[in-house]
Amino acid sequence: MKKILVTGAGGFIGSHLVELLVAKGFDVKAFVHYNSKSDHGWLETSKVKNDIEIYSGDVRDYDSVEKSVEGCDTVFHLAALIGIPYSYTSPMAYIKTNVEGTYNILQSSRKHNISKVMVTSTSETYGTAQYVPIDEKHPLVGQSPYSASKIGADQLAVSYYRSFDTPVKIIRPFNTFGPRQSARAIIPTVISQILSGITDIKLGNLSPTRDLTFVKDTVNGFLEIALADNLFGEVTNIGMNTEISIGELVKKIAKLMDTDISVTTENDRVRPDNSEVERLYCANKKIVDNTSWKPQYNLEEGLKETIEWMKENMKIYKPGIYNI
């Protein structure tokens, strides 16, 4: 991998991946969403900002994507709309960004003979677990417009591998958490409310379970899958092979922060009944057997690092507002 393009590079996982790649000595081009302020997201404050090439564009624009791919031999495609609640409001936005955006990456990569194309999926594509742990053969169920758009993107990537020999690998992380994550996600939602002095925590459903991976372990998984000699045309999960309910997770965070809390369910935060993914529990045998990946953080260690980071960066959060 001589020169690597990372789309979604200014985002939560993308910025951590860029930093890892730079630390490993790779030449990185960071694709960030164009805006008039030249704001590069989390890369603005990153220690590697001056060590990378920044490209501003829009993944929905083929011309923009095609130009960004030129000169690269590897692509990590992370750019996406990821907020599940907003996908109920604007499904078409998710189709344009997640499906058409992935098409633009695949077609541009095909044109420029890219050696490796890593397409980022999500555990949400599995829907509620029909068996556990969930391996890569589990059926795909679109329980939200977001998950449906990601299923579409994944299948499009597989079709390019089968139809045009495009060297695609699909990376399917389960729930990732850590510094820089949006307050739309459960862990920063709880931590930000507690840090702001709120003890009656506003949440959605507490019964669903999730398999949670610290972001540094997730991006290490991305790199290990990319470096593997096999796994082309296939899906590979990244997860911890554990699960915890949202309710128990909230209690664990409160205990780590030495705070007594209560929880109030707000209807705005609850998914439609048939859309809620009740259980996610990752089978990670494939990544363990085919790469050198081994997680370095357990849940408690990751939560502690996240809490400390959020203490120093609370000014970016607005815990009194629920933003879908």
Residue 323 has pLDDT above 80, yes or no: no
The pLDDT, as a whole number, for residue 213 is 98
Residue 38: which region, alpha, beta or left (left: phi > 0; alpha: psi -120 to 50)? Answer: left
Give the mean model confidence (pLDDT) for residues 6-12: 98
Query: CA 96 from chain center: how many Å?
Result: 18
Q: Euclidean distance between the first and final Cα of the chain, in Å?
A: 37
Find out whether 82 and 147 touch, Cβ atoms under 8 Å.
Answer: no
The pLDDT, as a whole number, for residue 321 is 82
The pLDDT, as a whole number, for residue 147 is 98
Q: Write the burial class of residue 117 (CB in 10 Å: 0-12 exposed, 13-18 middle, 19+ buried).
A: buried
The pLDDT, as a whole number, for residue 31 is 98
The pLDDT, as a whole number, for residue 324 is 73
Q: What is the CATH number of domain 3-176+212-238?
A: 3.40.50.720
> 0.95 cut: is pTM over it?
yes
Using 50, 70 and 90 to split pLDDT, how confident is the model at 268? Answer: confident
Give the mean model confidence (pLDDT) for residues 99-115: 98
Domain ranges of the chain: 3-176+212-238
The pLDDT, as a whole number, for residue 280 is 98
Residue 273 has pLDDT above 90, yes or no: no
As given in the structure block, the two tokens for residue 43 are 């890369």
As given in the structure block, the two tokens for residue 297 are 């953080």
Using 50, 70 and 90 to split pLDDT, how confident is the model at 40? Answer: very high
More confident residue, 277 or 273: 277
What's the mean pLDDT when you consider all of the chain?
Answer: 96
Q: Dihedral angle at the C-alpha atoms of 262, 268, 271, 274, nearest 10 degrees? A: 120
Dist CA 58 CA 65 (whole Å): 7
Give the mean model confidence (pLDDT) for residues 193-203: 94
Percent of the chain with pLDDT over 90: 93
Residue 65 has pLDDT above 90, yes or no: yes
Q: Which tens digit of pLDDT belongs to each residue from 119-170?
A: 999 999 999 999 999 999 999 999 999 999 999 999 999 999 999 999 999 9
Find out whether 177 and 185 touch, Cβ atoms under 8 Å.
Answer: yes
What's the DSSP call for residue 282? B
φ/ψ of residue 122, rounded to 5: -160, 150
